[in-house]
Amino acid sequence: MIGDLAPLPVLLPLLGAAAALLVGRHPRVQRTVSIAVLAGVVGVSVALLLIADAEGAAAVAVGDWPVPVAIMLVVDRLSALMLVVASTVGLGVLVFAVGQGTADGDEETPLSIFHPTFLVLMAGVSYAFLAGDLFNLYVGFEVLLTSSYVLLTLGGSAPRIRAGITYVVVSLLSSLLFLASIALVYAATGTVNLAQLAGRIGELPAGTQLMLQSMLLIAFGIKAAVFPLSAWLPDSYPTAPAPVTAVFAGLLTKVGVYAIIRTQTLLFPDGALDDVLMWAALATMLVGILGAVAQTDIRRILSFTLVSHIGYMVFGIALATTAGLAGAIFYVVHHIAIQTTLFLVAGLIERRGGTTSTARLGGLATASPLLAVLFFVPAMNLAGIPPFSGFIGKVGLLDAGVAVGGWQVYVLVGGAVVTSLLTLVAMSRVWTRAFWRPPTQAASADTAAAAARDAGPEHGQEDDPAGGEEPAEEPLPAGLAGGATSTTTARQTGRRGAWLRHVAVATAAPAGGEGQPSGRAGDSRTPTRPLPAVMMAATTAMVLLTVGLTVIAGPLYGMTERAAGDLRERTPYIEAVYGAEVDE
């Protein structure tokens, strides 16, 4: 059964991408094909998880090659669970993107490009989870990264191109390091098959093992955005369209975390770098959340919290116990769903309020109560408020840490608690500014900022009404220097007039229900587009999914404990590979 189903999470999206490309001139057909393909992947993934949990790990050797020379696809509890979560959130994001494309006329994300690329991305993610050797894990990474380059720069705007360049350079650097690591592993052991490496790496000198482990950890640490290798992420994700940012935040870094879990448990179980991972986890949590607290843009806040909460997963891996790994796996599942949902909500906020800057937003709870609920529930879940799954995952990790003991672990436990509290501060700040405060305060603050800006720029820069900065005017050529003052003043006056007109329209707009006037004087709202029903439905479904994780937390945590037990034992994975059936 595993042999028949294991290749499907990779083959279905690739075949679907080809079909979507062929019907690119027929958007409705393309949307139907894409959604049907991902729905099929969800069904196959659930079947694989049920089989793996009931019968244990299994593998299939693709092609008429002997084991372990053949391309190995391995399905165990960990990989199957990751497939289920990844395909489910991918389907939710795709439905959201369909709603956005239908509402906007596909101006920013043309369907002929978006759908095939998105399906290729999902194929790469699935292949990385199933790969049974380091080289095909590398191939999975490259497939998902190549498609992510296209998705990140959709629309071709200058900010997206700049962010895309940074993302591409960092990704290529990590890929080169990963490829070099694979070459060194093969030179030292004569294989890249993970099951074979589990037996051969332990026979190498300790120094060689440490070098190989360090190189792999650095390569995966870049992909997972572990501090100090995480500086690229907050500048890369916020510029992309909302569906792209959501799937990136939910899945791409977690593939890196998955690779760390797999290699640390299977190849390097002696824990030589566990202390280093603990300090990296602490730094990732604290630096990320401090960056989030300092931001005023919702997408950047979420990007920094994404980095911060990677630290919780690394914490569990560094503990190197069954309880620690179970907590880390549970938190990966939780965080994929939560982070994806929050970025989708951020896309709705931008559509409803015209911006994601908390300095310009206000009154969203009154203007759109449903949107307020859609933000509040996953935000509190991310902060770890009981009884949500975020609280359960954090308590599991903290309990595992206390069980290990030691001053270093207690410092990390304290850092995890502080990070959780600061996450609540960051989420509460977004709530109070964007949703709870009256819109008139936001408009007043913007008007005051505009007045302060026009009072005279300092150091060659002008304050932006959103709380940021605009670059100074470029100097005029020498031959036109005589008109510099008048030209600069005209530009300042034009920008000021445009902003005041914006504020005037916002103040004149009533703050009733969704698109309905309230009839109350003095209310204000930024003029925005309505929220399409499909986008709202997809986001609501994702929020319900995050709540569902809380409802099934008991069985889910039990599954993660069984998966962690298999990882610690290593034998189920190795026996599955050597007993694999050949798929001709």
Say how many Å lie between the first and final Cα of the chain, rounded: 15
User: Residue 155: is its pLDDT beyond 70?
Assistant: no
pLDDT of res. 156: 65
Q: What is the C-alpha separation between 120 and 357, in angstroms, rounded?
A: 32
Q: The tokens 């709380």 sit on which residue?
A: 467
Q: What is the C-alpha separation between 477 and 20, in angstroms, rounded?
A: 51
**What is the 8-class DSSP label of residue 252?**
I
Sheet holding 581-583, edge to edge: 71-75, 58-62, 581-583
Tens digit of pLDDT for each residue in 74-94? 999 999 999 999 999 999 999
Residue 51 confidence class, pLDDT cut points 50, 70, 90: very high
Q: What is the C-alpha separation between 74 and 573, in angstroms, rounded?
A: 8
Q: Which residues contact 484 (CB under 8 A, 6 or more apart)?
A: 475, 476
Q: What is the C-alpha separation between 328 and 103, in angstroms, rounded?
A: 39
pLDDT of res. 486: 44
User: Residue 463: is its pLDDT beyond 50?
Assistant: no
pLDDT of res. 578: 83
Q: What is the C-alpha separation between 579 and 47, in angstroms, rounded?
A: 21
Tens digit of pLDDT for each residue in 367-424? 889 999 999 999 999 999 999 999 999 999 999 999 998 899 999 999 999 999 999 9
Q: Which residues contact 531 (CB under 8 A, 6 or more apart)?
A: 348, 351, 352, 368, 371, 514
Across the range 541-552, mean pLDDT stands at 94
Residue 161 confidence class, pLDDT cut points 50, 70, 90: confident
What pTM was estimated for this model as a whole? 0.83
Beta bridge partners, 73, equal 60, 131
389 vs 512, which has greater pLDDT? 389
Phi, psi of 392 (to 5 degrees): -65, -45
